[in-house]
């Protein structure tokens, strides 16, 4: 257990780095690490990831806020809708088998990665959307925010890998602003999702707190690097990373699901 814990804590640096640099990817790493490295049951790993990612995102958010990258209105509206969805997802997740949750997790990762790699065609008024302070319309923010929150509570994803492309591809925010704003939404979503999960899932707090502390250190480094890397390579690299992780999780969990069905 000691060796696996050391490995897990080293990987926690990547969790924080991903959140600080990309505004997402924390749960993509945290859930598999807790499940496959530390041997946690999927529901416990999902609930633990909500705490780890929520705290780490809160620390990263402060750094981005000082740099003026956070779009508070868009993030707050997206987050409120997401909190409702996350609370619902946390309750629903208790009734779904672990392998099914992980398969859903992988499918969402692959779909989101595809959108990130393909990118978006900037609309004619994209520059205005990014700079006039109005942001994306409510008809776009609220339903997408609810669905992202539902995914957060259901499969333990803080939602960054969904929120960043939603704000960037649909909302028209520049990548740096989408990354920063996603952290605000993640904090709101994970708080709501964790509230629902803790009603039925106990956490191994010493491990969770140690993992969180290391991840926070990584997020501070990642936040300092944001904005220094060109947007398109950052988005595509993020998409490729998410795609690879999604395929890996799918390959791991598909046999378990088939075995359960037979």
Does 210 map to a domain?
yes
The average confidence (pLDDT) of the chain is 77
Tokens of 98: 């672990």
Higher pLDDT, 44 or 119: 44
Higher pLDDT, 116 or 135: 116
Number of domains within the chain: 1
Does 100 map to a domain?
yes
Higher pLDDT, 8 or 163: 8
Tokens of 202: 């106990």
Cα three-residue angle 197-200-202, rounded to 5 degrees: 85
3-state helix, strand, coil in the chain (%, to 5): 80, 0, 20
Higher pLDDT, 72 or 199: 72
What value does the mean pLDDT take over residues 15-35?
76
Q: Which of 51-60, 116-125, 145-154 has the lowest mean pLDDT?
A: 116-125
Higher pLDDT, 233 or 125: 233
Does 69 map to a domain?
yes
Does 56 map to a domain?
yes
Model confidence at 156: pLDDT above 70: no
pLDDT in tens, 219-252: 888 777 766 767 677 768 777 877 887 888 788 7
Does 127 map to a domain?
no
Does 129 map to a domain?
no
Residue ranges of alpha helices (H) inside 93-159 are 98-118, 126-131, 138-155
Instruction: Quote the pLDDT of residue 56.
Output: 84
User: How confident is residue 124, by pLDDT bands cut at 50, 70 and 90?
Assistant: very low
- Tell me which residue range forms the domain holding 91: 1-122+134-261
Model confidence at 127: pLDDT above 60: no
pTM: 0.70
Using an 8 Å Cβ cutoff, are 189 and 78 in contact?
no
Instruction: Quote the pLDDT of residue 209.
Output: 93
Does 128 map to a domain?
no
């Amino acid at each position: 257990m000691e060796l696996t814990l050391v490995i897990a804590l080293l990987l926690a640096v990547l969790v924080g780095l991903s959140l600080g640099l990309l505004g997402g990817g924390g749960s993509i790493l945290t859930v598999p690490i807790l499940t496959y490295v530390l041997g946690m049951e999927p529901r416990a790993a999902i609930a633990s990831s909500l705490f780890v990612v929520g705290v780490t995102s809160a620390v990263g958010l402060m750094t981005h806020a000082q740099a003026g990258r956070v779009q508070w209105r868009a993030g707050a509206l997206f987050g409120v809708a997401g909190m409702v969805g996350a609370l619902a997802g946390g309750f629903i997740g208790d009734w779904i088998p672990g392998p099914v949750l992980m398969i859903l997790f992988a499918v969402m990762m692959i779909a989101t990665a595809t959108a990130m790699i393909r990118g978006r065609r900037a609309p004619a008024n994209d520059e205005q959307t990014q700079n006039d302070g109005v942001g994306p319309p409510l008809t776009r923010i609220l339903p997408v925010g609810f669905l992202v929150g539902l995914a957060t509570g259901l499969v333990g994803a803080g939602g960054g890998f969904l929120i960043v492309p939603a704000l960037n591809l649909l909302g028209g925010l520049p990548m740096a602003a989408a990354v920063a704003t996603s952290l605000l939404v993640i904090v709101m979503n994970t708080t709501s999702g964790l509230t629902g999960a803790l009603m039925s899932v106990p956490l191994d707090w010493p491990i969770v707190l140690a993992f969180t502390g290391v991840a926070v250190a990584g997020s501070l480094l990642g936040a300092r690097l944001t904005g220094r890397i060109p947007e398109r390579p950052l988005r595509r690299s993020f998409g490729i990373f998410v795609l690879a992780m999604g395929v890996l999780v799918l390959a791991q969990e598909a046999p378990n699901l088939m075995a359960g069905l037979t």
